[in-house]
Structure 1
């Protein structure tokens, strides 16, 4: 499959693109080149519609993982107003333009890397919550991520696209995951390999708009991954040694 990876040069792309490239032909669209110089690269901004329309030509699916400036989960004291504006540009405006460009090019499937930060209380859903629990975060990061999910939902209804929103919980390297879990308790953090496997499954699954919880909490003490197991055939494989 030819996949346009929007935002593939950032933190998440650096973690997962080596594994995705084993299965698909990737074209990275980003203001900066990806870590792997062998990947096809198109420079551009998600707010540049002309650049997006050129980049999406000849692809079969869009993987939208652009994040913009780093934003701490808690509160509004993380920087100047430009950072607030950037969050809306990347997670709302840029996402809409990317899906519109995909639709215009005949590309009818996309995967959006959302976040468990769509929920309040530091990204954790309410006790016993699942994907049907309405997102309720009002931090700038969580708010723009859940608005991005609504953009995806709209693309499915308006343009009959299929879009999977993966609510990721802290993708990290396997070494970081093991260090976090060293106290002997499972962690909701997700290894890069498990995150990549979820993205691969989401690129294949097509059924309108769907949101999925992706977490390394394999015992489901904090988060339910039942929907991801049922529809994507995915569950984390990382285990405490």
Structure 2
């Protein structure tokens, strides 16, 4: 399959692009050149001409772009950038995809659509039927991005899949989370000390490939996480297993 990866040079893009390129013909749209020898269109999803050029001849598009961090409230997201990338560029990408007759799209979402307060997210029991309730800028913009994806699927008959990730990390650092704003990888733990494994890059890429096989002309959302789902009910990945045939191999 010929895939355009929006933001393929960013953190999440760098995790998944090399692995997706092993199975698919990959093109990257990003202002910055990607790592590796990949077809690269210089630009962003905010540029209609760059989008049209990058989507030409593609079978599917994966939106994995990330916004900038705030210069005044680091490491919080920059508000304007968060709305531009997580909402406006998702809208622009899906509109341009429809215009280019690209009917399949995967949008990289986040479990941050759920609030981390007053109860930490890792302590919450959630699945795809749970109502997103985040109120911070990142969570709100990711929530809005999901709505944009749903609208595009309904308006254009596209197959649009949102993958809500948590703690994506390189395989060689798993189960630690290589949070980009931290100097060292961290082990995420629940309040009782139970470790929560991060999502390995290879499992992320496998989930994206599985999502790209959907061809139903509708919208759907899946939780793609490395957390153990073996009995406590938190962060269920049962839907991804049953619909996409995906389970985290590193767990």
Match of 2:112 among 100, 109, 117: 117
1:63 aligned to 2:73? no
Match of 1:210 in 2: 220
> Secondary structure of 2:175's partner?
helix
Greater helix content = 1
Please name the residue that 2:180 is paired with.
none
SS of the residue aligned with 1:213? Answer: strand
Q: Does 1:226 align with 2:238?
A: yes
Q: How far is 1:21 from its partner?
A: 0.5
Instruction: Tell me the distance in 2 between the aligned counterparts of 1:4 and 1:55.
Output: 7
Total equivalences in the alignment = 233
Residue by residue over 1:14-70, the C-alpha shift from the partner in whole angstroms, topping out at 9 and shown as x without a partner, is 11211100110000000100011x100000022111211111010000000001214
SS in 1 for 2:129: coil
**TM-score, normalised with respect to structure 2:** 0.86
2:168, 2:199 within 8 Å by CA — same for their partners in 1?
yes
Q: Is the 8 A contact 1:169 1:188 kept in 2?
A: no
Partner of 1:156: 153
Q: 1:178 to 1:126 in 2, by over 3 A?
A: closer
- Which runs of structure 2 are paired with 1:125-204 in the superposition (5 Å)? 127-179=124-176, 180=187, 185-204=194-213
Q: Which residue pairs with 2:53 in the alignment? A: 54
Deviations 1:184-207 (A, max 9, x none): 945242111111111110111233
CA contact (8 A) 2:13 2:65 kept: no
Q: Deviations over 1:111-166 (max 9, x none)?
A: 00000001001683874321111211111111101100000000011111111000
**Offset at residue 178 of structure 1 (A):** 3.2
TM-score norm. by structure 1 comes to: 0.89
How far, CA to CA, are the matches of 2:168 and 2:224 in structure 1? 9
Deviation digits for residues 84-107 of structure 1 (CA, Å, limit 9, x no counterpart): 111111111111111000000101
User: Unaligned regions of 5+ residues in structure 2, if any?
Assistant: 177-186
Structure 1 vs Structure 2 CA RMSD: 2.4
What is the rounded CA distance, in whole Å, between the counterparts of 1:110 and 1:86 in structure 2?
22
Give distance in 1, aligned partners of 2:85 and 2:124: 30
Q: State the distance in 1 between where 2:131 and 2:31 align.
A: 33
Question: Contact 1:119/1:125 (CA < 8 Å) preserved in 2?
Answer: no
> What does 1:74-93 align with in structure 2 at a 5 Å threshold?
77-78=73-74, 83-93=78-88
